Amino acid sequence: MNVPKHVAIIMDGNGRWATNRGLKRSMGHLEGSKTLEKLAIHAIDMGVKILSVYAFSTDNFKRSKEEVDYLMDLFIKMFNTKFEKINKKGIKVVISGRKENLRADVIEAINTIEEKTKNNSAGILNICLNYGGQEEIIDGAIKLAEDIKNGLDIKNFTKEDFYHYLYQDLPPIDLLIRTGGELRLSNFMLYELSYSEFYFTNTLFPDFDKSEFNKALFMYEHTDRRFGGLNVKENN
């Protein structure tokens, strides 16, 4: 089976999932967090090496204080206690995004989970929190500018070299999944998605279970990735 090495998920639709049931939006986020735990383990079982997930965008601070506070408290609970199964599975957890604007107790929980799982080697779960794709490129460009100022020679600088300046030095994304029915990127991993395959589904994230994930893997298996070239048959 041709399994994507790096899968990314825009975990959208938590709020609608809850509203559809007459519940508060926060209950959708809680349910979504359970779905994420299960999916991270399942993805590794299926042979995926890296799972990047969009948990909170820089623009999500525009939401009500109540919703933002709930989400921040939920991240703390996830990192401090709920990710025990993910740790036992041997998954290394890393967090991508700007630390400015985050509460001190959220940063502390981020440091705890990263430290606790840093030697794990079964796979990587990259959680994008206070993350923006354009911000990541800007932050990378600033780091690169500093290196140039300090004498870095950029005569032969490549697209691949720029990955070292992103939040995590991970390979490009092979498969992007967006749940919740919208057909947009909402500022997610713009640099890393350049040749990714896209899988969009109306399923709301809390309902995106293992079998839904497998449908995306199945689509990926049957796509012909050309990277601007031609496939083997057409090349003859």
CB of 174 to ligand IPE, least distance (A): 19
Binding of ligand IPE at residue 70 (CB under 6 A)?
no
Q: What token pair was written down for 99? A: 């630390």
User: Total number of residues binding ligand IPE (CB under 6 A)?
Assistant: 17
Please answer whether residues 216 and 199 qualify as being in contact, where contact means their C-beta atoms are separated by less than 8 angstroms.
Answer: yes
Nearest to 207 by CA among 59, 52, 55, 18: 18
Binding of ligand IPE at residue 123 (CB under 6 A)?
no
CB of 36 to ligand IPE, least distance (A): 10
- Known active-site residue 60: yes
Which of the choices ligand IPE, Mg ion, none does residue 11 contact, using the CB cut-off of 5 to 8 A by kind?
ligand IPE
Q: What token pair was written down for 97? A: 């995004």
Q: What token pair was written down for 109? A: 């929980």
Which of the choices Mg ion, ligand IPE, none does residue 80 contact, using the CB cut-off of 5 to 8 A by kind?
none
CB of 157 to ligand IPE, least distance (A): 31
Where in 149-188 is the site for Mg ion (CB under 5 A)? none
Q: Which stretch binds Mg ion (CB under 5 A): 10-18, 50-58, 164-172, 223-231?
A: 10-18
Q: Provide the edge-to-edge strand list for the sheet that holds 91-96.
A: 91-96, 123-131, 50-57, 6-10, 175-178, 197-200
- What does the longest C-alpha to C-alpha distance in the chain come to? 60
**Phi, psi at residue 230, to the nearest 5°?**
-120, 155
- Known active-site residue 161: no
**What CA–CA distance (Å, rounded) separates 29 from 18?**
8
Cβ neighbours around 202 below 10 Å, total: 10
Closest CB to Mg ion among residues 44, 127: 127
Where in 174-213 is the site for ligand IPE (CB under 6 A)? 180, 182, 184, 186
**Binding test (CB under 6 A) with ligand IPE, winner from 26, 52, 57, 58:** 57
**Binding test (CB under 6 A) with ligand IPE, winner from 8, 36, 55, 94:** 55
**What CA–CA distance (Å, rounded) separates 182 from 203?**
10
**What CA–CA distance (Å, rounded) separates 66 from 72?**
10
Q: What token pair was written down for 162? A: 């720029």
Binding of ligand IPE at residue 13 (CB under 6 A)?
yes
CB of 77 to Mg ion, least distance (A): 21
Judged by the rule CB under 5 A, the positions of this chain that interact with Mg ion are: 12
Q: Mind telling me the catalytic residues?
A: 12, 60
Binding site for ligand IPE (CB under 6 A): 10-16, 54-57, 60, 71, 180, 182, 184, 186
